Each structure stands twice: as structure tokens, then as C-alpha cells.
Amino acid sequence: MKLLMGNEAIAYGALESGVVFATGYPGTPSTEVVETIARLKPEVFAEWAPNEKVALEEAAGVAYTGLRALVTMKCVGLNVAADPLMSLAYSGVEGGLVILVADDPGPHTSQTEQDDRYYGKLSLLPVLEPSDPQEAHDIIIYAYDLSERYRVPVILRTTTRVNHTTANVEVGEFVDLKRKPVFKKDIERYVRASMEGNRKRHGWLNETLRRIEEEFNSMPFNRIEGRGRLGIIVEGAPYGYVKEVLGELGEDFRVLKLSTPHPLPRELVLGFLREVEAAIVIEEGAPFVEEEVKVAAYEARLGVPIYGKRTGHLPLEGELTPSLVRNALLKLIGKEAESYEKPEAVRLAESLAPKRPPVMCPGCPHRGSYRAVLDALRELRLGRYSVPVHGDIGCYALSLLPPLEAIWTEYVMGASISLAGGQSVVMNRKIIATIGDSTFFHNGIQPLIDAVYKNLNVLVMILDNRTTAMTGHQPHPGTGGSETGRRFNEIDIEALVKALGVKYVRTVDPYDLKATREAIKEAMKVEGPAVIIARRECVIPVIRRGEVGEPPVVVEDRCTGCKACILLTGCPALVYDAGTGKVRIDPLICTGCGLCNQLCPFDAIKFRDELEG
């Protein structure tokens, strides 16, 4: 028995299944799975890929040889991997292949609340979903067995609460299957250029899914509990909420606990519906199971009422909670919904606590990059709202907040460059794109190629902080680092950009505001694509190594209390003291980046060597 987070439990289950290859792209709430595998068994090739498409294709190559592989990603990552997913379903696999996709109802850390169970329906692949960490551990072991017996990839869909909940988990021994990789040539199976072969594989896949559905009717992770005239069909994390509230309602319910949203075990579901007067479907995300259950009931000519998200008993948006489940069940039995009142102590604490919006860390190099962009546009006499500044996925998205308010857009990996490229054509002016180093490798190279090919008038700022910072400092091709300590090659971003044909390429230190600002001003005058690489390591690993610089100090007789340093940077290490009417620097969190030193209009912020001089 071990106390494990859901992601850790999944990693244990994968290692107990004999996985030899684990990959993916880091993205909350899935990241810890690959990291845990790398920590627990470094001999497993558990390394990050530049994006989810590459990860799935690499893992498929491994599974073709009869070995077991795992791919992990967050919800939107499956959009990137959707292209190979569809064809991979037709070819199938020899060794077990599990695709872990972590959905994010809420959403807590994602662009959307998309429900990736629909990808199972679209690709004709089975989807499994656990309800807690123990089941996550157990179900991935079953998933590998299922994958190999039917020779298809299996999608393991989780949600944030399962990924990040911690619980006691019974685990077993790690397994070495001692298989040797063998890949046999099979044109009809592996070559999608054969139209006749594709039709045959489609038929094979449909028949395989039908057989899997038969198995799901009696598999151990689907079960019926309790007795009652009213039925609850529940899937995933909300099963815990149902268990929590059932004892309080004074009403008996018959519960069908599902772990197989696709294919729906119709025989099991229809048998359940025949035993109840009405049923409600409780699930996280879209009304996926609800719709499948209603179709099954209609085709079987069952008149039992079926409720859920589509009937307004549960919300279509946001994450479910025990109180939402409770009120849905109260509505089902004809009772008034109950309002949740926060305890007085909680309400008092919330009223007294100051609002703390997310903020870039003290010393974050992105702060200097965006400050330089805004200042350069001002010095070029370009209005703040006349030149779009596109953002991308990463910590630098925080530049949307005051006082910088720099980026205008941010929604998918690499889109900053594509958006800028398209707008440069119709707006007939230089447009700015800002993108992180990991995001650039993920999906930024292709739109930059297009900008070079079409000579689009864009300025691409690659904010190279030498890591994948937002998800916990994972390595990427530009760092040369490895999750397991293997030696990899470091891809030189500047050399890569020049090789793509970009004529204007400059590398600057975003802590040097003047140099960065001048490079931006120069690049804005270049016709065609220009690239500036703003390179400075993320400050968090610098702090961990104890390598931060010495904080500057405020010279009080020069400080006028104008707050320019605060208003221009938003650095949390700068504090206005209402008592003295001066600014002070918090030495406990200041990292000595020097931006405030460069921006103070009264030369009131000095480093020690400047004071001594």
C-alpha cells in the first residue's frame, strides 16, 4: 500500500504492465505520469517528445514491434495527435498501447473543457475511465491486456480530480516481459495508401469494437450496486460524489457504475434500465454517456425517462461537485434543491483576504521581453493599440494582466506566428508574435517556415527561458536535457531559424532592456520575417541553485514615490510604503534582475557597486 496521486498510481500500473517506452508532451493535469516512470525505473525510455503527434507516432512504432508503450497528454493534446490516432486505429498494434488523455473540467489549467471521450467514438477505439487513484492503477493494467488481446490502442480518459487526488493504492511488482521487438511487413495493415485495404481494416475495426462491447458487458470495472426504483448511471470521478451523498437522501437508488464510456455496454445498460422507473446519468464533461444511453434505450423501445445534463439536472459547464450531484438527485425525487451556504468563518476570511491575481515571478525574463516590446513600439511612435502582439501557450501568457497588458491573443500552441502571418497580409504592416522555446519546438516551426516561404511581414520573438516552465521545468529539444539522464543533442534555436531562411535574427538578454528594445525597433523596420530570441533562463531553477543576484536598494532621498518601477514592471518584489511615500524592495524575493534599476526615471534604484562608485 502506498499513498499515491492518481498520476503516480497510473505510472505504477504501467510499470507493473511491463511498459518499456513512455512519452508525451507535458501538460497539466497529466504531466506527473512520465516523470514518475522516469524516477521509478530510469531504464524505461520515459522521455518527452516535442509534441503529442510525434509522441503518439513514436509510441505506435514501438507497439508495432510487440512491446508495450504509453503516451500521455492533456485534453487539448489529443487534438494535436488526432491525425495519427485515426489511422493508427485502422492498423492496430501488436504490443499494448495506452493513450492517456487527461481532461480538465473546470477548466483549471486548460483552454477548453473539451471531452475527449468523443475521440473514442470518432476513431472507433475503446475508452476506459477510472473513478479514483486505485482504479486508475488497476484499469491501466487491464487496458494493456485489452489492447493486446484485440490488437488496438486503448484510450484511458481521466479528469483532473482523478489525476491529482491522493489516496492509498495497492500496488504490485514492476514487470519485465523480456520481449524482443519484431516488426513484420504487412502492406494492407500498415500502409494507408491502399483504398481497398482501408475498407477492409474499417470492417475489422468495427467488428473488433463489437467484440469489445460484449466484453464490457461483464468486465469487473462495470457493476451494479444497491436496490431501488430510481437508477443512477455514473461514470468517472462523480462516482465518489454519488457514494458520498446517497446515504443522506433517505431514498434507495440502484447504481450502475461505468468505467467504459465507449463502446457503451448496451446489454448491461438496458438490463439496468429495465429494473428502474427512471434514471439519471451523472458524468464529468459533456453528456456523452447520457446521449449513448438514450440512443440505446430508444432503439430497444424502452420508455424509461433518462435525465442528466441535457435535461438541466446537471450543468453543461464546469466541474461537478457533491452539492451539484445532491441537488440533481433531489430534483429527481421531486424535492427542493438545497443551497450551499459557506460557513461564516470562511466568508469572513474571504472578505478579508486581498485579491491575489497570478503574476510573473520576481526576476521572470518574460517581464523584460514584454516591457521592451511596449517601450519599443512607443519609441517608434506606434500606438499601443495599433500593432497586435500575439501570445502563445506558456507562463508569458500572464503578460495579459496589468500593468503590462501586452498580448492580444493566446489560445493554441504555435498560433501566435500563424495569426501574425495572416494579419500581416491583410493589415499590410509588421505584426508581432511572441512564443516560448518549448512551444516553438511543439508547433511554432511550421508557421515560421510559412512566414519565410511567403515573406510574411512578422516579428517573431522566441522567449527562450531554457525549459518548459509552465508545467514544471521539463526538458525540450532546445535544452538537450533528458527526463532520465540520457545524453541528448541540444538544438540551437538561432541556427535552426537561420537555416529556415530568416535573414534578420538576433539573440538578446531580456534583462538588458536597452539592447532588447533596440533589437525590436530594428526588426520592426525589416521587410519580411524577423526573429528575436530573448534568451535568459527561467528564474526558478536559478533560485533553486542559489545563483540569484544581489538585490538593488532604493536611495530614499532620490525616490519620489512615483511608482514608475511598479507600474512599468508589476514586479511583486517592489512594494510601495504608504507610510513613507517611498518604494522599497523586498530582499526575500528579489532576484536582482535589474529591470527596476533600468526603469526608474529618477535613478533612485541602485546596486551596491553603483553606490560605492
Domain boundary (510, 544, 578) is at 544
What's the structural domain count of the chain?
A: 4
DSSP string, 80-138: HHHHHHHHHHHH--SS-EEEEEEE-SS-SSSS----THHHHHHHT--EE--SSHHHHHH
Q: Is the pLDDT reported for residue 444 higher than 80?
A: yes
- Residue 10: CATH number of its domain: 3.40.50.970
Residue 186 and residue 295 share a domain:
no
Reported as a pLDDT band with limits 50, 70 and 90, residue 458 is: very high
- Cα 286 to Cα 111, 116, 232, 309, 370, distances in angstroms: 16, 9, 17, 8, 38
Residue 77 and residue 212 share a domain:
yes
Is position 530 within any domain?
yes
pLDDT of residue 331: 94
**Single-letter amino acid, residue 375:** D
Q: Which helix (H) or strand (E) holds 152?
A: none
- Cβ-defined contacts of 570-579 (< 8 Å, 24+): 570/359, 570/360, 570/367, 570/401, 570/402, 570/403, 570/404, 571/360, 571/362, 571/367, 571/595, 571/596, 572/359, 572/362, 573/362, 573/363
Residue 387 and residue 432 share a domain:
yes
Taking only the tens place, the pLDDT of each residue in 167-208 is 999 999 999 999 999 999 999 999 999 889 899 999 999 999
Residue 89 and residue 208 share a domain:
yes
Residue 238 and residue 161 share a domain:
no
Q: Which residues fall within 8 angstroms of residue 118, CB to CB, at 6 or more apart?
A: 286, 288
Domain that holds residue 583: 553-612
Residue 212 and residue 228 share a domain:
no
Is position 358 within any domain?
no
Give 574's strand partners: 585
- Cα 462 to Cα 55, 82, 257, 495, 498, distances in angstroms: 23, 27, 48, 13, 13
Mean pLDDT of 460-477: 96
Q: Which residues fall within 8 angstroms of residue 5, CB to CB, at 6 or more apart?
A: 32, 133, 163, 164, 165, 166
Residue 419 and residue 275 share a domain:
no
Residue 522 and residue 507 share a domain:
yes
Taking only the tens place, the pLDDT of each residue in 560-579 is 999 999 999 999 999 999 99
Is position 356 within any domain?
no
Is position 359 within any domain?
no
Residue 527 and residue 564 share a domain:
no
User: 278 and 304 in contact (C-beta within 8 Å)?
Assistant: yes
- Residue 557: CATH number of its domain: 3.30.70.20
Residue 537 and residue 401 share a domain:
yes
- Residue 442 per-residue DSSP state: I
Reported as a pLDDT band with limits 50, 70 and 90, residue 406 is: very high
Residue 156 and residue 99 share a domain:
yes
Residue 318 and residue 251 share a domain:
yes
* Alpha-carbon span 417 to 458, nearest angstrom: 8
Reported as a pLDDT band with limits 50, 70 and 90, residue 613 is: low
pLDDT of residue 348: 82
Q: Is the pLDDT reported for residue 285 higher than 70?
A: yes
Is position 340 within any domain?
no
Query: CB count, 10 Å around CB of 304?
Result: 17
* Alpha-carbon span 60 to 183, nearest angstrom: 12
